[in-house]
Amino acid sequence: MATETRTQVEGLIIDGQRVPASDGRTFDVYDPSSGEVLATVAKATKDDVKRAVQAARAALESKAWGGLAPAERGRIMIRIAQAIRERAEALAELESRDNGKPLRQARADVQVAARYFEFFAGIADKIMGNTIPLGPGFLDYTVREPIGVSAQIVPWNYPIQIGARGVAPALAAGCSVVLKPSSEAPMTALRLGEIALAAGLPPGVLNVVPGTGSEAGVALASDPDINQLTFTGSVDVGVQVAKMAADNVVPVVMELGGKSPNIVFADADLDLTVQGVANAIFQNAGQTCSAGSRLLVERKAHDAIVERLAARAKSMRVGPGVSDPDMGPIISRRQLETIENYVKIGTSEGATLAAGGERPSNPLLGNGFYFMPTLLDRVSPQMRIAQEEIFGPVLAIISFDSLDEAAELANRSQYGLVAGIWTRDINKAMALASRIKAGQVFINTYGAGGGVELPFGGYKKSGYGREKGLESLASYTQVKNVCVKYA
């Protein structure tokens, strides 16, 4: 199997160069499957972030990027997509070791990353304005211009996919980017920066500055020279990031937490439903903002659904990501302990364990951060496990008796990111979809395989703004109106 791991210190990418941190500091990146050090990476300082922003500003205003024809931007992005695919297996293994996810999921993430660049490459020369009819003697038109330097703070759960999700539309719009990956999983973001440069992206257009949120993240979010900020992470951190950006009147796209419901009616195709519900919570060990972490099931179908889900959960193979198990490890010991604590809270509040609820007994997994696929049944909607984002492979199961009750339960959350509806009755599905307050609603499916083309974002505390699809370009462009009076 190909590998992308290296022995030397991984430098920052600033203005097209691999450079050490300005003070020489580094940090270790750990493989959550084994707890062993995977790589040592330069730790970006406030000064490093400032240099990256300045490089992005210079690139934005250069002829090499700012003066480049939109079609040529698209060609560069196509080459980036091709290079990602050429290195797909090595990137997937690196993502699996860095994040812990099963190799087949990492492979899918790499392909989705390439698809983002392909999709937005085709749009680069089609970002158009409008003409506005004012009558004889006037010509009025709008143009969409790049918003400027885009700062992007990316989480650890889907590093290459979420990195590409924001970088690709920003480049298509003509922006330059400073990307700060999580210090827990920065490796494929650095490779993405290398790939982009090798594909012909001018120096400074994409800078990658791994580091801590408290230092590099704060420096980037509060920098007065950025023009736009894209953030994916928790609600608490998102609020702080938005406040820092607001001090400089910088617009923000926020993709925050979720407690997304899968709503199952008794007339649903049970085989299809169980597969979809299980994938929605156990993919990436539940460490997904859009995970279907609440199961709302019609009471008369409850026993059949839970029995099948429990059998599936108990049969899943848990192990190191590169061995391609059904489910890999949790990202860190701290997050593992958080998940364990939530299960204890749930059972203390009256929920019952239908599967899992503990670390695996296999001694070979003792050095990694593993937790078994877990079902918590007989959950009441007011319980903490039904309201708070656990970010782990833990499904809270709640029963309902009517469509009205299902709608009320689905919306009884501070979040509104995604929802799933499972039924053979299209009238019931469409009626419920119209009542759910969430940015995406899936019917008899969930997630749509990455959904590059589908606008993604939240209602309520799940955030604001939209990523993916054509809607995302609104975040990376600004509208200029030109009005001409003629004789």
Which sequence positions are flagged as catalytic?
Answer: 255, 289
* 479 Cβ contact partners less than 8 Å away, ≥ 6 residues apart: 129, 142, 143, 144, 145
SS3 of the chain: the string is: CCCCCCCCCECEEECCEEECCCCCCEEEEEECCCCEEEEEEECCCHHHHHHHHHHHHHHHCCCCCCCCCHHHHHHHHHHHHHHHHHCHHHHHHHHHHHHCCCHHHHHHHHHHHHHHHHHHHCCHHHCCCCEECCCCCEEEEEEEEECCEEEEECCCCCHHHHHHHHHHHHHHHCCEEEEECCCCCCHHHHHHHHHHHHCCCCCCCEEECCCCHHHHHHHHHCCCCCCEEEEECCHHHHHHHHHHHHHCCCCEEEECCCCCEEEECCCCCHHHHHHHHHHHHHHHHHCCCCCCCEEEEEHHHHHHHHHHHHHHHHHCCECCHHHCCCECCCCCHHHHHHHHHHHHHHHHCCCEEEECCCCCCCHHHCCCCCCCCEEEECCCCCCHHHHCCCCCCEEEEEEECCHHHHHHHHHCCCEECEEEEECCCHHHHHHHHCCCCCCEEEECCCCHHHCCCCCECCEECCEECCECCHHHHHHHEEEEEEEEECC
Residue count (the chain): 487
Sequence-separated (6 or more) residues with CB below 8 Å from residue 409? 261, 296, 381, 398, 400
Q: Which residues contact 335 (CB under 8 A, 6 or more apart)?
A: 287, 369, 391, 392
Instruction: Please tell me the distance from the alpha carbon of residue 285 to that of residue 374, in angstroms, as a whole number.
Output: 10
Q: Cα–Cα distances in Å, from 318 out to 110, 277, 313, 330, 370?
A: 22, 18, 10, 11, 8
The residue assigned the tokens 């695996």 is 360
User: How many CB atoms within 10 Å of residue 362?
Assistant: 11
